[in-house]
Amino acid sequence: MDRDRILLTPGPLTTTLRTKLAMLRDWGSWDADFNAVTARLRRSLLAVVHGEDTHAVVPLQGSGTFSVEAAVATVVPRDGHVLVLDNGAYCKRAAKLTQMMGRRCTVLPFDEAAPVSPAALDDKLATDGSITHVVLIHCETGAGVLNPLQAVAQVCEKRGKGLIVDAMSSFGALPIDARAVRFDALVAASGKCLEGVPGMGFVFLRKAILDGCAGQSQSLAMDLHDQYVYMEKTGQWRFTPPTHVVVALAEAVVQFEEEGGQPARLARYTRNYQTLVDGMARLGFIPFLDPSVQAPIIVTFHAPGDPRYEFKAFYAAARQHGFILYPGKLTEIDTFRVGCIGAIGPGEIEQAVHAVELALQDLGIASGEPAI
């Protein structure tokens, strides 16, 4: 194959040649040129959520989950009580890391095929005054559900609770406006809808709570308050930054802005999503979610009902035809997932559908129709 396989996953993603080429230069971590890239990138990220007046953005080495863990440890006091709104696998991960950070944690469960309920959250906060913070996964990519950020934020503000938002798979594509939505922390990462490469997370922290975060984290490397103070004072990262990842993200953000920012990216991903579900329907595949709750980020499909279907063989066949799919994340139902994000358009999605068709033929499967 004379081209890279296209990644139809929720990250890492297919990136542009410009983004790849940005990584060909070596940078000194204390060098003034690199510090200028970091500063420019931080300003650009704040502009995406219109958070220049209300929030500071703190970058952190590592995967997105590193930054979620850092946000919980930095923002929540050690005697705090976190309520995690749970409608999927990444919610459960947030609950697990909260407990491992030594914070008291309660989980409010919801159906993984439906958004979390702001009304149920309001009822829970009304009956348990010990809860100090709420964790919401904006786009729960376990199934692909879009959760109601603004409504949840309004409940938290009304009840005087802090809100930590995992916007890993939504930031840059779905609208988030810090002027209209109050959150204490919002977490995203380089290798998602900004179409950079993986290796750096970043957390938007509300300026009003920043001073109170001093000394709350039990981690040296993940203390976002310390990272913020040091970066404001010196322009540098406290510890060795992922230099190539940072400059690749800076280049990816330039392309994001050239494309037209968040509205343009959402429009392209929405076209990708529509092309995907229409094409897969022709092959007999049925999405797991109702379209009304589906984010145009990643789509979960029911597995084919044919007894010859087995995900590893299906994955390998699609890979042979140039596309990387993603396994299902649901525990009870056999599914697989197909991402709509990355430096791809409807043309690549049409090719992906054709690759799935060829993969079915390779396996002797006549239709993607599920057994349900």
Along the 372 residues of the chain, how does pLDDT read in single tens digits? 446 899 999 889 999 999 999 999 999 999 999 999 999 999 999 999 999 999 999 999 999 999 999 999 999 999 999 999 999 999 999 999 999 999 999 999 999 999 999 999 999 999 999 999 999 999 999 999 999 999 999 999 999 999 999 999 999 999 999 999 999 999 999 999 999 999 999 999 999 999 999 999 999 999 999 999 999 999 999 999 999 999 999 999 999 999 999 999 999 999 999 999 999 999 999 999 999 999 999 999 999 999 999 999 999 999 999 999 999 988 789 999 999 999 999 999 999 999 999 999 999 999 999 987
Backbone angles phi, psi at 339, to 5 degrees: -80, 150
End position of a domain, from candidates 227, 258, 289: 258
- Is residue 67 within 8 A of residue 203, CB to CB? The reply is yes
* CA distance linking residue 202 with residue 190, whole number of Å: 8
End position of a domain, from candidates 213, 232, 258: 258
Give first-to-last CA distance, the chain, whole Å. 36
Q: What is the CATH number of the domain that holds 31?
A: 3.40.640.10
Residues 247 and 317 in one domain: no
* CA distance linking residue 370 with residue 349, whole number of Å: 21
Residues 205 and 268 in one domain: no
Residues 251 and 295 in one domain: no
Looking at residue 3, its pLDDT comes to 64
Looking at residue 371, its pLDDT comes to 86
Residues 98 and 194 in one domain: yes
Preceding omega of 304 cis (within 30 degrees of 0): no
Residues 152 and 66 in one domain: yes
Confirm whether 309 is domain-assigned.
yes
Confirm whether 370 is domain-assigned.
no
Please give the biggest Cα pair distance in the chain. 63
C-alpha 294: how far from its chain's center? Answer: 15
Residues 155 and 214 in one domain: yes
Residues 253 and 115 in one domain: yes
Structural domain count of the chain: 2
Place of tokens 């459960």: 92
* CA distance linking residue 57 with residue 152, whole number of Å: 22
3-state secondary structure the chain: CCCCCEECCCCCCCCCHHHHHHHHCCCCCCCHHHHHHHHHHHHHHHHHCCCCCCEEEEEEECCHHHHHHHHHHHHCCCCCEEEEEECCHHHHHHHHHHHHCCCEEEEEECCCCCCCCHHHHHHHHHHCCCCCEEEEECEECCCCEECCHHHHHHHHHHHCCEEEEECCCCCCCCCCCCCCCCCCEEEEECCCCCCCCCCEEEEEEEHHHHHHHCCCCCCCCCCHHHHHHHHHHHCCCCCCCCHHHHHHHHHHHHHHHHHCHHHHHHHHHHHHHHHHHHHHHHCCCCECCCHHHECCCEEEEECCCCCCCCHHHHHHHHHHCCEECEECCCCCCCEEEEECCCCCCHHHHHHHHHHHHHHHHHCCCCCCCCCC
Residues 206 and 329 in one domain: no
Give me the residues paired with residue 83 across strands.
106, 134
> Backbone dihedral region of 97: left (phi > 0), alpha (psi from -120 to 50 degrees) or beta?
alpha
Residue 289: other Cβ atoms inside 10 A: 18
Residues 166 and 201 in one domain: yes
Residue type for position 74? T
End position of a domain, from candidates 206, 233, 258: 258
pTM score > 0.85 for this model?
yes
- Is residue 116 within 8 A of residue 148, CB to CB? The reply is yes
Residues 76 and 212 in one domain: yes
Domain around 340 = 6-10+261-362
Looking at residue 1, its pLDDT comes to 43
Confirm whether 369 is domain-assigned.
no
* CA distance linking residue 90 with residue 136, whole number of Å: 10
Token couple for 177: 């406006």
Residues 237 and 276 in one domain: no
Token couple for 205: 């922290």
